């Protein structure tokens, strides 16, 4: 069953509309988008997973169907909001995938729930994002002019070609990215006081990503007591666009029932 445009699973508006009902799945994969991005970046992912895995693209305010709501700027408010809005989904078996800033959001939400004794993900998958104690390279452009920010977005592949065709959209895109970068910096600082998660962390790093090295990806190991594994992916920072099949294939294998013991990654191996 598909949830219609006017309703989203469990009554929350923080999930992309018109998604399959995730309530009967064996496990739910909640996906968090990158800074300046939106949940539509995960459209089509459901077709790449077996029927017992429900892909749940999470939408932050300030974009697409939540464009009328102001974008979050404060970590505490965001995490409390997500915990409330997604609460029913998070009480069922679930995993997180977050890309770039979305990886930091996924980690912070898992840590927020861990601190209060709530259920945590079966696993956390982080794409193209250094751990909180390392400098986030995109923080360097927070104070750039709109023109400089847009140029940087183009260079790292952060602006879809469609947006480039409509120059009037660029100012809106720059404002949204600026708000998200402020949020991301706050989340990094918030996470400095965190304790290791009880679930494994899998880090996906683009082989040509200038913003995350393999060594930086491996540094996520301090944030889990259940092991960390780095998976090198083809492509740059936004490898999910050109190589989505490689990403969804890996996540499918990680979420398979038979992989729980094999891929717990307690030895911290790289693949």
How many helices (H) and strands (E) would you count in the chain?
10, 6
Beta strand segments in the chain, E: 27-32, 53-58, 94-99, 124-127, 201-206, 228-233
Write down the pLDDT at residue 23.
84
Q: Say what the pTM is.
A: 0.89
For residue range 15-64, what is the model confidence (pLDDT) as tens digits? 998 888 888 899 999 999 999 899 999 999 999 999 999 999 999 999 99
CATH number of domain containing 73? 3.40.50.1820
The per-residue pLDDT for range 78-112, each reduced to its tens digit, is 999 999 999 999 999 999 999 999 999 999 999 99
pLDDT for res 143: 73
The answer to whether residue 2 is domain-embedded is no
Please indicate whether residue 264 or residue 259 has the higher confidence score (pLDDT): 259
| Distance, CA of 110 to CA of 67 (rounded, Å) | 25
Establish if 270 belongs to a structural domain: no
Number of folded domains in the chain?
A: 1
Task: Tell me how far CA of residue 82 lies from CA of 15, 85, 141, 246, 255, in angstroms.
Answer: 10, 5, 27, 28, 23
85-105 burial, b at 16+ Cβ within 10 Å, e below that, comes to bbeebbeeebbbbbbbbbbbb
Whole-number Cα distances in Å, 32 to 95, 117, 144, 181: 11, 22, 25, 15
Residue 267 lies in a domain: no
User: Is the residue at 18 inside a domain?
Assistant: yes
Whole-number average pLDDT of the chain: 87
Q: Could you tell me the residue range of the domain that residue 187 belongs to?
A: 9-262
């Amino acid at each position: 069953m598909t949830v219609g445009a006017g309703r989203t699973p469990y009554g929350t508006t923080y999930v992309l509309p018109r998604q399959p009902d995730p309530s009967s799945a064996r496990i739910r994969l909640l996906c968090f988008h990158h800074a300046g991005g939106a949940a539509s970046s995960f459209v089509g992912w459901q077709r790449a997973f077996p029927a017992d895995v429900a892909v749940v693209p999470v939408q932050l305010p300030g974009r697409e169907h939540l464009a009328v709501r102001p974008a979050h700027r404060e970590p505490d408010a965001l995490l409390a909001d997500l915990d409330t809005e997604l609460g029913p989904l998070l009480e069922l078996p679930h995993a997180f995938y977050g890309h770039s800033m979305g990886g930091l959001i996924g980690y912070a939400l898992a840590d927020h729930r861990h601190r209060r004794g709530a259920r945590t993900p079966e696993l956390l998958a982080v794409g193209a994002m250094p751990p909180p104690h390392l400098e986030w390279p995109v923080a360097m452009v927070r104070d750039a002019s709109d023109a400089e920010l847009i140029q940087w977005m183009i260079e790292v592949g952060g602006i879809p070609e469609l947006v480039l065709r409509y120059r009037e959209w660029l100012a809106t895109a720059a404002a949204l990215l600026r708000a998200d970068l402020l949020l991301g910096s706050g989340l990094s600082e918030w996470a400095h006081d965190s304790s290791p998660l009880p679930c494994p962390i899998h880090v996906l790093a683009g082989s040509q990503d200038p913003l995350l090295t393999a060594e930086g990806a491996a540094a996520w190991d301090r944030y889990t007591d259940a092991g960390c594994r780095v998976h090198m992916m083809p492509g740059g920072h936004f490898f999910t666009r050109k190589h989505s099949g490689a990403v969804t294939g890996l996540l499918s294998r990680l979420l398979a029932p038979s992989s729980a013991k094999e891929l717990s990654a307690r030895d911290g191996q790289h693949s």
